Structures are given as structure tokens and as C-alpha cells.
Amino acid sequence: MNVLLKTIGFFLNVLAVIFPRRAGRLGFAILCRPVRTKITQRHRTFFDSADQFTLQHGNDTVRGYRWGNGPQTVLLLHGWQSHSYYWKQYVDTIDLSRYTLYAFDAPGHGLSTGNFLTMPYYSDVVEKVIEQIGSVNSVVAHSIGGLTAIYTFYRKPTLSPARLVTLSAPGQVQEFFDLFKRQLGLTQHCVRQVMTCFEALVQKPTAYYSAATFARSLISRGLVIHDQNDRNTPVANARAIHENWKQATLMVTNGNDHNLRSADVVKQVSDFLSNKITQPY
């Protein structure tokens, strides 16, 4: 895979010298095309345990899931190249007589259609899902889902839940371009062309998309969880989000890496949702 990525990067670098706009468009298409995680029978069994629903967003059919019938509604947002199976520990742990848990596979992920996703596009889908569900009491979001949630409720404060949990959230969209540059060995000139395509699409500079900046306007109570040795996105992002989010608690774990697949983390999130006092560790 590493050789393939470097080969693609070499091609894009050469193309950027000759046809910079074409290199930018192609690089942007590659960056925003998630590699689907294989759906196994174990995943399907879990999906089948839910009441399923779909909604249409643009050309994409989004697959959603609902567990439980409790009065408190929780929306779960997965990360990049993941899907709703990420939340199995939560579905198995949380009292489904008290909570109704909703999740969906982002476009290009899981059982949803599509092959393209950006953070702002993910945010548009989140908005549409909440409008279909009705208001939600809480949101729990992992990785790019965390940045998406913060951006969504900055952009649409009337949709804000009472409680918002972010797990391993990136700090800014710029990180995705930086990672893309490192993985493919792109020149600064080439990655600049890719960023130009993104900025033309969203009509904003890349630097606009900052979780710490958005967090200043959040009205939800927050729980920010991050592992100190996260290899995907540094814990400094969590500290910056926490510093700018007045009603948030920061929890830094050790040994859970980016996925935060830990019974302790699930318990802390569950306690936070149920309004129990949550202590940092």
C-alpha cells in the first residue's frame, strides 16, 4: 500500500507541474474517496439488530440504525473509513429502556452509497438526520465525526444537543491535507492545488475549519476524550478544544490510541450522558 501511495504521489507531483488544476482535481478526488471497510457477517448481524431507516442526501442513500425505545435520544457519529459497528460497545452497554440510540453510515461508508466525503458534507448529512429524527438530547462522535459535530452545532446552534462527547477529534481540516501530503509524498505546490479545489467547493479558506474556534460558540455541555499517544491526531487538539469550550470537561487516557476502544471510555461516556459526575483520569 505504501508503494502504491508513493507511486500515486509521484504521478500527481509530475502532473501538478504540467497541469496544476488537473492534478488538484484528481488529488482532491482521491483524498475524499474513503476506502470502505469490509462488511463481515459479524457487522451485518449487528446492523440487523437495529431498526433500519434510509434518507436521501443528494445522490447518496444514507443507511441509518436505531436501537432502544427510551425517552433520551443519542446520535452516534463514526470516523473516517469506519461505520456504525464502531458503536457496538455502546449499544451493548447503554440502557436501551432509557435511551434511543441512532447511528448512520456516512456517505461512502458502511451500507450507505457514495464514494465521496468531506467534513462539511458530513455536516450537511448530520443536519438532515437530526431533522428527520427530531431533536436529539446527546451526540457522541468519533474522529472526523467529532470535528463534524463541533462544526455542525457551531453552524446550526438551534440543533445543539444538551450534551456532546467528542472522541479523538481532529483540530482542523488542514490536518487531512497534511496527512495526505505525508502519505503520498506530495510537494507543497501539488497539495496547494488540492486545497484550492476544496476551497472552491466550500467557498471558504481551509484555515476557517478550526475546532477550537468553533468550540467557543458551543452551547452544549461537553466531554472531550483523547488518548495521550493518539497516533492519528495529537492530544494537543483536545486541549485546544477544551480551552475554548466553556462547558466542557477534558479526559486524557493512556493506552487507548485513536480508536478509544475501552470499557472505561464507554463507561465514562455513559455516565456523562446520564448526568453522573465524571472525573478526569
Going from N- to C-terminal start, the domains of the chain cover 1-31+174-205, 40-172+209-273
Q: With 50 as the cut, is the pLDDT of residue 280 above it?
A: no
Mean pLDDT value across residues 109-117: 98
Q: With 90 as the cut, is the pLDDT of residue 156 above it?
A: yes
Please tell me what DSSP assigns to residue 86.
G
Q: With 70 as the cut, is the pLDDT of residue 61 above it?
A: yes
Instruction: Beginning with the edge strand found earlier in the chain, give each strand of the sheet holding 248-253 in spatial order.
Output: 51-57, 60-67, 99-104, 72-77, 138-142, 163-167, 221-227, 248-253
End-to-end CA distance of the chain: 37
- How many CA within 13 A on the CB side of residue 272? 30
Pairing state of beta strands 248-253 and 221-227? Answer: parallel
Share of the chain above pLDDT 70, in %: 98
H-run or E-run covering 271:
helix 263-273
How far CA 233 is from CA of 124, 126, 228, in Å, comes to 23, 22, 10
pLDDT at 279: 42
Share of the chain above pLDDT 90, in %: 96
pTM confidence score:
0.95
Mean pLDDT value across residues 6-20: 97
pLDDT at 263: 95
Q: With 50 as the cut, is the pLDDT of residue 277 above it?
A: no
Binning pLDDT at 50, 70 and 90, where does residue 231 land?
very high
Pairing state of beta strands 221-227 and 72-77? Answer: unpaired
The per-residue pLDDT for range 21-40, each reduced to its tens digit, is: 999 999 999 999 999 989 99
Q: Locate all alpha helices (DSSP H) within 62-134, ordered by sequence.
A: 88-93, 119-133
pLDDT at 275: 82
Q: With 80 as the cut, is the pLDDT of residue 96 above it?
A: yes
> What's the CATH number of domain 40-172+209-273, 3.20.20.10, 3.20.20.70, 3.30.70.141, 3.40.50.1820?
3.40.50.1820
